[in-house]
Structure 1
């Protein structure tokens, strides 16, 4: 799949990535959810509600990972779920899915930049700086630096992600060992902190907590955006994605355990005026300076890895839509030297900055979750049609997910539950976002579709669909 260079020369994205880079992309985007954001679920329903939401969201994302691994190991092209929808369902669904991806990753990038700015202000106060620190220059610096890194090449970008993501994950393991009593000196007080507050809002609190339970795993589906840049898509994508979801299930459970065992649930659940970075706050209460520095760097690295991966994924989705003329073809350009979708990278920077500088953290998280959730709702339909049109014997797949259609039905059911949970707390935002996608769908149908490159709608070397 080729894009266009500045002078009409055809250049394509480089196939230079391996399974470890795919793991770093998926886990790197998500791991910040263990460091911040998930604790809003505690505020919605209490600590136990957050744990139940964590595990049910884990089931949802395991289904996402299995379905994505099968389809993407076959549809090895930039754009991920957008390209899947283009081949399997049709142009209107593809356009919407592409927008879901771009908004989910761009909002997540903005949330990460906000968190990075907060961390710099905390470090300044710990270093003795008394005056309130303006976080905005740090937010701008983070987004601009990572956009520059993505501009310069995908191998360096995701190798950087691999290093800092591994560090952030190891930091969680070290904090668990140091505070749980396994390595001595345990400080967990679950019984005392939970007494009388097991489920402060009852079972409805569990449902409400599902909204932010997604934050533990939001973005693992981003591994599909690397499909056109991995050396062996059929091997690297399923391996990296499934290893990633297993890593996140472990990290999410350990995160809940250490944070809820040290921090009071009222403080833990207030992610704005209380605990913005729960793992870092847990380290501060441990009394260990080494843990404070370790988790401080872990939190910073997790936010950088996530923002870095989000820029990578949002730009690939935008680039793929531009290449197929779903958006102006100008966005479908590939840099002749660095072989990156540089125009898409640059174009999305000011959008991320607007949300990072002008919107509250919980609202930014909600918009990211809603866009992601709309994308997950499309996946069950996608895999059912894929299996029906191209049965297992008709196309060689790099991975075949088991127990079909159970994962698809489970995913659709959990998406429905989560939509209701979001409606309970953010009904206005949910209705507004669905209204926005309806309006842009009408714009695409009545205006933009006439410019679409219809010859690029089906580019896979597959046989005709069954029954056609």
Structure 2
């Protein structure tokens, strides 16, 4: 293989070695942990029925995200995903902010996964008679091990994700079959739809954590520069990933809401593992313990991959210090970005509570989705169909973008109801970062070098 890349002209480039299965593993691997933990806080906000409504409403939001992403990313096939899109379509300041949205969304999600894994090991250790088991060492070891795996190469990293994600998904299918959902021997179907204890305001509040079923599927775009065929692999991997998550999310809700009172379910840390414990089946408990461990590992692994690609892309374009734009000469990975983000994840995983970490990840993701709606509207206006080659064309435009905007606005309000302080703090942080970029960092950016797509002049410019 040539040591030069056709896209950026660098002596050492990222390797194009991934296929659709790896894209699926990256997207679903990041998100499937949301079925194992986190989504159930929506039950605490509004009850079991409210959580189901939030699950399907969020599913609609992410279907729009997947369709929009598949079109734009199969056309802007560069590492950085939505950051690269913003750079080419909107402008430098938006690109800088979108890059930060991505890095913080994935780094916070990585920290949440490490916290969950540590809690689970501590819980199982206590059940096994090891009362002095502590979660902190497992949090550190998880992040360090996965960072090392990412450092050594993307193919091995995402092949590992493919295997453990598939096992975690199959574990949900087996648990669903084991509780005999076609009978009322284990589940109590008449208790599932328990009404709306907090009314429709509870449904609105549940949207906050309803996103957790799917948060991160848009991370498939970060593989754009490392797949063999972006026009085929990215849409196929992303769309099949959304279908997988819709199935898993509905199954998960049905199992957990049928086995546990909504008051307990709304504050459980590992609801699917708790559901397996309630079946009194040791094999199911072991299987769901393994599934929970694997889902957290897959998610944290994918988050390290995605956050480092976004950080690397910003360094390569000099939006950040250029040192972060380096590629390892042997492993062909953005090794400095991987190493730099490790202590950031460790700090949040070690000191921050789980619901706060989840909220910061959701808020960063929500800002990113809002951008995506405006981005695709501008993209279609500036380069109408037929002016440039697209790998995929999403249907019903502009309806998905408008639906996405409406659902994002609803979710902002839902987050404000429970975490208004965090919402304001996050917005202030991004405003300060924008001022820093405009006043200090932008002078280092080489404007001509960052635009790498061979597109004609946009309509109206």
Name the residue aligned to 2:220: 223
Q: CA deviation at 1:181?
A: 4.0
Give the match's secondary structure for 1:213: helix
Name the residue aligned to 1:312: 305
Name the residue aligned to 1:140: 140
CA distance in 2, matches of 1:366, 1:260: 23
Which deviates further from its counterpart, 171-180 or 28-37? 171-180
CA distance in 1, matches of 2:237, 2:296: 20
TM alignment of 1:288-367, pairs within 5 A: 288-367=281-360
Contact kept, 8 Å, 2:79 with 2:310, in 1: the verdict is yes
Contact kept, 8 Å, 2:66 with 2:238, in 1: the verdict is yes
Name the residue aligned to 2:413: 420
Q: CA deviation at 1:128?
A: 2.0
Name the residue aligned to 1:68: 69
Q: CA deviation at 1:466?
A: 1.2
Name the residue aligned to 2:238: 241
TM alignment of 1:27-426, pairs within 5 A: 27-129=28-130, 131-182=131-182, 186-192=185-191, 197-270=194-267, 275-426=268-419
CA distance in 2, matches of 1:417, 1:35: 25
CA distance in 2, matches of 1:317, 1:66: 21
Q: CA deviation at 1:457?
A: 2.8
Deviations 1:393-422 (A, max 9, x none): 111111000000000000000000000000
CA distance in 2, matches of 1:420, 1:77: 33
Give the match's secondary structure for 1:261: helix
CA distance in 1, matches of 2:190, 2:449: 60
Contact kept, 8 Å, 2:172 with 2:251, in 1: the verdict is yes
Give the match's secondary structure for 2:259: coil
Which deviates further from its counterpart, 322-331 or 455-464? 455-464
Q: Provide structure 1 residue ranges, at least 5 long, that are not aligned to the other structure.
A: none
Q: CA deviation at 1:193?
A: 6.1
| Greater than 3 Å deviation, 4+ residue runs | 1-4
Q: Considering only aligned residues, what root-mean-square deviation do their CA atoms show, in Å?
A: 1.6
CA distance in 2, matches of 1:412, 1:190: 34
Give the match's secondary structure for 1:10: coil
In structure 2, the CA distance between the partners of 1:64 and 1:192, relative to structure 1 (3 Å rule), is closer
Deviations 1:357-400 (A, max 9, x none): 00000000000000000000001110011001111111111100
Q: CA deviation at 1:126?
A: 2.6
In structure 2, the CA distance between the partners of 1:255 and 1:193, relative to structure 1 (3 Å rule), is closer
Contact kept, 8 Å, 2:48 with 2:192, in 1: the verdict is no
CA distance in 2, matches of 1:163, 1:269: 30
Contact kept, 8 Å, 2:205 with 2:415, in 1: the verdict is yes
Name the residue aligned to 1:453: 446
Q: CA deviation at 1:9?
A: 7.8
TM, length-normalised to structure 1: 0.96
Deviations 1:405-445 (A, max 9, x none): 00000000000000000000000000110011011101111
Q: Provide structure 2 residue ranges, at least 5 long, that are not aligned to the other structure.
A: none
Q: CA deviation at 1:304?
A: 0.2
Q: CA deviation at 1:185?
A: 8.3
Contact kept, 8 Å, 2:43 with 2:265, in 1: the verdict is yes
Aligned pair count reads: 457
